[in-house]
């Protein structure tokens, strides 16, 4: 083979290798962007433009979010980032398929480039909310820092639409056991937001739904308990709207399943069983209406909340009975709880009787009747345990007193050992002389003591009171006074 042929062959091999490498990188790039899954959404990018973009990748900047010009599907939006001499369009699925880690990172980074463009911000938040319906998207968005970023926006924005879109996105993201660990600080923001937002507004309803989702797992319960006073105010305001009342009931049920929340929940002042039963009991005229079903659904939530509390209280009281050093001793001490709190509704006898008097299994929903019986039984058990505990406490006090103090019975003459002292009785069976001897002996023994001694008059009185002499007749108080 001539020298020229070798040169041509080398050039051909080099060109083939370069072409193969370029095609391999191009295919790999397309796979990362999931272009193969979007059959009707592909945007053609030439291999030459792709190679140019690789050379200047460090200078890329996010510039805009626009709907794809050749895409009629409103569920997909395209993010365009521009480099020196080349523009690459990346399809971000709007809820049709999960987000890849790269796409989640792009969406999160774009939040910092909106430059107060509210419309653009709303579009990215909508895309996040739709994509977060997939578990994979939830994890990828959380890892990309999306939750912390939109939390900061929620705490600073005054735009109602922005708040709604953030709450919708957070609602979907809160449905994952892993992503919920990124929700630190959000419960406090949402509780205050719902408390200060007008009743029956979309922000308030979406916020309550988010609180429901965040309270399903116990991971964020500490944050709810730290804001128990604000939560109490929110619960109180929710009774003016049936939809909000139902949402609050679901939150309380979720929180009551965690026994560590018991002490905080018993401090609630806005809940009254009598008010709830009266408010949620359907009238005869509305028995078959849709409103009747909703009222029973609300009542079921609150009765279940009370049942969960009574079950936890019974468990703690039984543990205290078995172990006197139990940490549940605070249940017997009402000092930290004002009279208007939920604590007294479950522990005060009069309020217990009032609650039981209005709890009747009269509802068409059988599960409500079952829960009512459960609640009544729980109240009876609490009262019985407290009574038994009080009786046991009094009995223990008497036992302690008997062990520490001995009471001498002077009504029976004390028998002295023969070697120590002997008491002789006269022939006339006169008991006065022995008592006089005892008095003299006591005065001799305690002559140098500071103890107050019994006088002769008191000894004679004691002797007279216990004498069997026939001359010691009983004199009524009236006669003695007249004499």
The pLDDT of residue 12:
76
Mean pLDDT, range 79-93, rounded to an integer: 52
The pLDDT of residue 319:
83
Q: How crowded is residue 76: how many other Cβ atoms within 10 Å of its Cβ? A: 21
The alpha carbon dihedral of 222, 228, 234, 235 has a sign of positive
pLDDT by residue (tens digit) across 196-235? Answer: 999 889 999 999 999 999 999 999 999 999 999 999 999 9
Mean pLDDT, range 361-367, rounded to an integer: 88
Return phi, psi of residue 420, to 5°: -95, -45
Mean pLDDT, range 266-279, rounded to an integer: 91
The pLDDT of residue 455:
43
The pLDDT of residue 218:
94
Q: What percent of the chain has pLDDT over 70?
A: 63
Task: Enter the tokens of residue 245.
Answer: 């009342």
The pLDDT of residue 206:
96
Is a pLDDT exceeding 60 seen at residue 248? yes
DSSP secondary structure string for all residues of 317-381: HHHHHH-TT-GGGGGG--TTS-TTSHHHHHH-HHHHHHHHHH-----SSHHHHHHHHHHHHHHHH
Return phi, psi of residue 86, to 5°: -150, 145
Is a pLDDT exceeding 70 seen at residue 342? yes
pTM above 0.85, yes or no: no
Helix or strand holding residue 187 (H, E): helix 186-196
pLDDT by residue (tens digit) across 370-414? Answer: 999 999 999 999 989 888 877 766 655 556 555 555 444 444 554
Task: Enter the tokens of residue 160.
Answer: 């109602």
**CA 371 to each of CA 140, 341, 349, 359: distance values in angstroms, whole numbers, following the listed order:** 42, 22, 21, 10
Is a pLDDT exceeding 80 seen at residue 472? no
d(CA 387, CA 400): 20
Q: What share of the chain is helix, strand, coil (3-state, %, to 5)?
A: 65, 5, 30
pLDDT by residue (tens digit) across 21-46? Answer: 777 666 666 655 544 344 333 333 44
* Residue 214 and residue 183 in contact, taking contact as beta carbons nearer than 8 Å: yes
User: Where does residue 16 rank: exposed (0-12), middle (13-18), buried (19+ CB within 10 A)?
Assistant: exposed
d(CA 44, CA 404): 97
Q: Identify any residues that bridge with 98 across adjacent strands, giving them in sequence order.
A: none
User: Where does residue 187 rank: exposed (0-12), middle (13-18), buried (19+ CB within 10 A)?
Assistant: buried
User: Where does residue 166 rank: exposed (0-12), middle (13-18), buried (19+ CB within 10 A)?
Assistant: buried
The pLDDT of residue 326:
53
Q: Indicate the SS3 state at residue 157.
A: coil
Residues in the chain, how many?
Answer: 483
Closest CA to 248 of 265, 223, 267: 265
**CA 164 to each of CA 39, 144, 152, 160, 301: distance values in angstroms, whole numbers, following the listed order:** 33, 22, 14, 6, 26
The pLDDT of residue 2:
72
The pLDDT of residue 80:
53
Task: Enter the tokens of residue 218.
Answer: 């116990």
pLDDT interval class at 331 (50, 70, 90): confident
Mean pLDDT, range 131-155, rounded to an integer: 95
The pLDDT of residue 421:
43
Task: Enter the tokens of residue 77.
Answer: 């939006």
pLDDT interval class at 57 (50, 70, 90): very low
Indicate the average pLDDT of the chain: 75
């Amino acid at each position: 083979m001539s020298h020229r042929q070798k040169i041509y062959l080398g050039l051909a091999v080099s060109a083939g290798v370069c072409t193969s490498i370029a095609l391999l990188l191009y295919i790999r790039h397309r796979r990362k962007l999931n272009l193969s899954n979007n059959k009707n959404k592909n945007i053609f990018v030439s291999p030459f433009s792709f190679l140019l973009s690789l050379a200047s990748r460090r200078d890329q900047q996010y510039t805009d979010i626009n709907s794809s010009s050749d895409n009629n599907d409103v569920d997909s939006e395209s993010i365009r980032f521009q480099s020196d001499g080349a523009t690459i369009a990346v399809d971000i699925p709007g809820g049709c398929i999960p987000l890849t880690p790269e796409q989640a990172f792009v969406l999160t980074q774009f939040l910092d480039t909106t430059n107060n463009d509210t419309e653009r911000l709303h579009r990215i938040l909508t895309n996040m909310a739709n994509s977060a319906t997939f578990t994979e998207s939830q994890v990828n968005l959380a890892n990309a820092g999306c939750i912390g970023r939109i939390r900061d926006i929620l705490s600073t924005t005054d735009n109602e639409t922005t708040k709604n879109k953030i709450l919708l996105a957070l609602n979907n993201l809160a449905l994952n056991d892993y992503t919920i660990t990124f929700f630190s600080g959000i419960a406090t923001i949402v509780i205050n937001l719902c408390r200060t937002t007008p009743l029956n507004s979309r922000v308030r309803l979406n916020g309550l739904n988010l609180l429901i989702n965040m309270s399903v797992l116990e991971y964020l319960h500490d944050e709810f308990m730290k804001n128990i006073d604000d939560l109490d105010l929110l619960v109180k305001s929710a009774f003016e709207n049936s939809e909000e009342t139902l949402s609050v009931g679901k939150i309380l049920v979720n929180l009551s399943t965690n026994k560590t929340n018991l002490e905080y929940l018993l401090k609630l002042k806005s809940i009254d069983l009598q008010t709830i039963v009266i408010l949620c009991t359907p009238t005869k005229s509305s028995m078959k209406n849709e409103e009747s079903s909703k009222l029973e659904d609300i009542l079921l939530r609150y009765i279940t909340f009370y049942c969960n509390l009574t079950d936890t209280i019974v468990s703690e009281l039984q543990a205290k009975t078995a172990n006197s050093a139990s940490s549940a001793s605070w249940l017997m001490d009402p000092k930290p709880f004002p009279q208007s709190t939920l604590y007294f509704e479950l522990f005060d006898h009069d309020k217990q009787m009032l609650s039981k008097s209005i709890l009747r299994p009269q509802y068409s929903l059988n599960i409500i009747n079952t829960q009512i019986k459960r609640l009544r039984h729980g109240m009876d058990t609490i009262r019985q345990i407290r009574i038994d505990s009080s009786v046991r406490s009094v009995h223990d006090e008497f036992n302690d007193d008997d062990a520490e103090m001995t009471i001498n019975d002077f009504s029976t003459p004390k028998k002295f050992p023969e070697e120590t002292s002997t008491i002789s009785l006269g022939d006339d069976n006169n008991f006065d002389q022995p008592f006089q001897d005892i008095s003299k002996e006591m005065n001799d023994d305690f002559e140098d003591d500071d103890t107050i001694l019994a006088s002769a008059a008191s000894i004679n009185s004691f002797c007279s009171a216990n004498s069997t002499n026939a001359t010691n007749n009983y004199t009524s108080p009236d006669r003695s006074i007249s004499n």
